[in-house]
Structure formats: structure tokens, C-alpha cells
Structure 1
């Protein structure tokens, strides 16, 4: 059962739809939790309608994936799927979540995508991060400014990303794959069964990113802002 208490998070992943966090950075989520960090996922919409899903099915799949990842904090902002917009009203809603959970790091979708919900989500995260620090406002909670926004890749474009860094998720891949597989209505039902299936493709993609850093599996990340290092001890 998820922890319902408002509390400070180290990292908050903002996903346009349930399954985007798992696809883009499921391995990173598992890794951060194993390192003792408090991690949360905020889904902006229900993700429905979809061809083979429903509100009930998607909610059950999300609950199963949340358990598979080991998450203790996950919420849904209840914004409309397929028509997500970075409006002032939605910006305030998201900023209030930031002020309540006070994350150090935010993770948003990569800023270029064919899916309008994804690009709107990124704009919304960036704007809400700024609003979250405001004083003299009607928004609930105390001012808070997350230190960084990192971008994960869960894109609908056939693009060749040039990430800022690639995270080694070799030890976390199986758990990530199990979380993704919970979304049967999205990745199994009605999909071609001849290999390579979409799940095969996701494995191959993770293996490709692992190859770029000399590891079995990896996840790429981007950042609009420069990254700082205090040393080279964590480089692989």
C-alpha cells in the first residue's frame, strides 16, 4: 500500500501518463530506492482512453507496476489525457505538489517529442518549478525550488538521442522489465506477437545504451543545464 502521508522526496518523476515513468527511467527509480532515496512518481493523467485499456484496467496495471518498482509514493494529478496543456491552473496544481513534497530533483520527459502531452508535460514541469518558489501567492504550501530538472527519454519520435549521461541499470533491468510488463493493455494486448515484440525492442534499446558505457543495460538522460561533478569516482 502506498504511503499517503505528505513528506519530503529526494526525487519526483513527473509522467504524462501511467507507464511513461517505467519506460523512461524504471531502472533509475529502482536504483535510487535501493540507495535509500525517497522517490515518488506523479502521473499527470489517467492515460485513458486507449484502444485496449480502461480507467479500471489502467489503474490496476499502475498499482501492479508501482509495487514492482518498490515505490511508496505515487499520485495522479487528474489532468485530461490527450489534451494536456501547460495552463496557469495546471501550473498552480503542479507547483503545489512540489511545495508539498519538496523534492530535490525533478525528472520530466525529454523536451522534443511527437506526443503533445509529453511536450506539454515538460513545459508544465519547468513552469511549475519556477512558481513553486514564489512568495505572496494563494498557492498552498511553503515556497520550494527543486535544485534540478533531469529529462528522461520516452519519446514517440524516431530519433537518435545525444544524452548528457547514461545510467548503468544492469542490476535493475529485470525489475524495470517486470514493471513495464504490468501494462498488458498497452504493450501486449492487440500487439504483434512475432518477435521482436515491443518488449523485445525495449530490452534491445536498454542494451544499446548499456553498450555505450560498457555495461549490460543503461538509461539515457538529458539536462538543459550543465551538470557538475565533485569528482570522477562515480564515472563508469
Structure 2
């Protein structure tokens, strides 16, 4: 059975970037795992109530997707760029080596959030072909509020070359995203139902379907 690992710097990135695709894969009987790299527990600025609420949200989201496994590196959120690279690469590599996924989904390298860039680099390091020959495909997903706000002048931007038709899964994706109550807000906030639906519609138009999610193919071995 095909095994897919979605790598999320923070809980909600997996849903923003490829929630419809994950639901579709599960419906097809694919073995799907979720890796959450960061945590807010013990991080200054987050209360015990917030930490407990986030833990509850993660449990609810995992149940909605019916993930085959939820894995956590538990590294401090918004601080990954302050850690030694070996610590981050090692944490991600441990999960990948244990699971041996054939497909890995990662955030786009030039997202504005530094955690996304750090997680991308760590995942690429952990999936070198001579170290992880079982990984046959790596795809980058886009994350509303992060990918679209990257304005580096040397970055050509997120340019998808793979589209997944998520007709029939968009509404469930929106319902799951609503579980992250503190991450959603009213339009024109980018993490809003209107924006999520608009992006799915745009990608759908590019793929000649009602709704789609877009990816960049980074590696594919056949």
C-alpha cells in the first residue's frame, strides 16, 4: 500500500495546503501519516489553556482525517531557525526513517514564515536518495497566509505543475479547518472560508475542474 507523509511545520498547515488531497487519499485506501514539527507547549507567550486547546484541536483533526499515524517532533514554534540544523534534521529524519513513506508533502521553501523554510530544508536533507531510497516522490504544497505573502525578489514564486481534483472534498476540508478556531478569522483575513474557497476555485479553473489543490513536483522517481 502506498504510504504518504505530510510534513506540517504547524498544525493547520496540512489542512490549508492539502486537506482535500489528504481526504481523497484516505478515501482511496492510501496509508497517510501526519508529522507535526512544532509545538506551543512551553513556548513563551502561550498559556496552559492555549496549549490544552491546541492539543484538543490536533486530536479532533486527526480523527477527522483518520490518519494512520500522527507524529510529533515537539520543537518550539517560531524558533526553528534558532536551533542547530542537526537537531531539526535529526528529528524529521527519525520519523521518515521509521515510516519509510514513498511520498512526502512539504511546505513551499520560500514561504514567509521562517519555520516553513527550516522544515523544508530539514525534510530535503532527510530524504536524500542515498539515505532514503524508499522516498520516490516529494511535492511542495502552498499555504495561505504564508506562501502568498512571500515577496523575496529572488523567488519566482509558487509555480504549480501538479493539480489534485478535490471536488467532493472541499466542504470537508473547510469543516476541518474550522476546528482550528484561533487560526481562522473573517474575510479579508487570508485564513478564512472565502479565501480557502477562492484558492480552490482558482486552482480548479487551472485544472478544468470545480475545485483543486496545487503542488510543485520537486522529485519523482519512476
Q: TM-score, normalised by structure 2?
A: 0.83
- Paired residues of 1:98 and 1:144 also in contact (CA < 8 A): no
Residue 205 of structure 1 is matched in structure 2 by: 199
Q: How does 1:216-235 map to 2 (within 5 A)?
A: 216-225=210-219
**What is the distance in 2 between the residues matched to 1:83 and 1:76?**
16
Q: Is 1:115 the counterpart of 2:113 in the alignment? A: yes
C-alpha displacement at 1:225, in angstroms?
A: 3.5
Summarize deviations over 1:167-223 as a string: whole Å, max 9, x none: 100111111111111101111xxx347899712111111111111112111000002
Q: How does 1:12-91 map to 2 (within 5 A)?
A: 12-47=5-40, 54-85=50-81, 87-91=85-89
**What is the distance in 2 between the residues matched to 1:10 and 1:174?**
25
- Structure label with greater radius of gyration: 1
- Paired residues of 1:17 and 1:47 also in contact (CA < 8 A): no
The 3 A distance-change label for structure 1 pair 64 and 98 is same
**What is the distance in 2 between the residues matched to 1:124 and 1:29?**
22
**What is the distance in 1 between the residues matched to 2:60 and 2:119?**
24
**What is the distance in 1 between the residues matched to 2:66 and 2:77?**
26
The 3 A distance-change label for structure 1 pair 62 and 197 is closer
Residue 98 of structure 2 is matched in structure 1 by: 100
Q: How does 1:166-205 map to 2 (within 5 A)?
A: 166-187=163-184, 191-192=185-186, 198-205=192-199
Q: TM-score, normalised by structure 1?
A: 0.79
SS of the residue 1:223 aligns to: strand
Q: Which has the higher strand share?
A: 2
**What is the distance in 1 between the residues matched to 2:191 and 2:137?**
35
Query: 5+ residue gaps in structure 2?
Result: 151-156
How many pairs align? 209
**What is the distance in 1 between the residues matched to 2:97 and 2:106?**
17
- Paired residues of 2:103 and 2:138 also in contact (CA < 8 A): yes
- Paired residues of 1:46 and 1:58 also in contact (CA < 8 A): no
User: Aligned-residue CA RMSD in angstroms?
Assistant: 2.7
Summarize deviations over 1:53-102 as a string: whole Å, max 9, x none: 82111111111112222223112111110111461122122212111111
Query: 5+ residue gaps in structure 1?
Result: 1-7, 135-142, 229-236
- Paired residues of 2:201 and 2:212 also in contact (CA < 8 A): yes
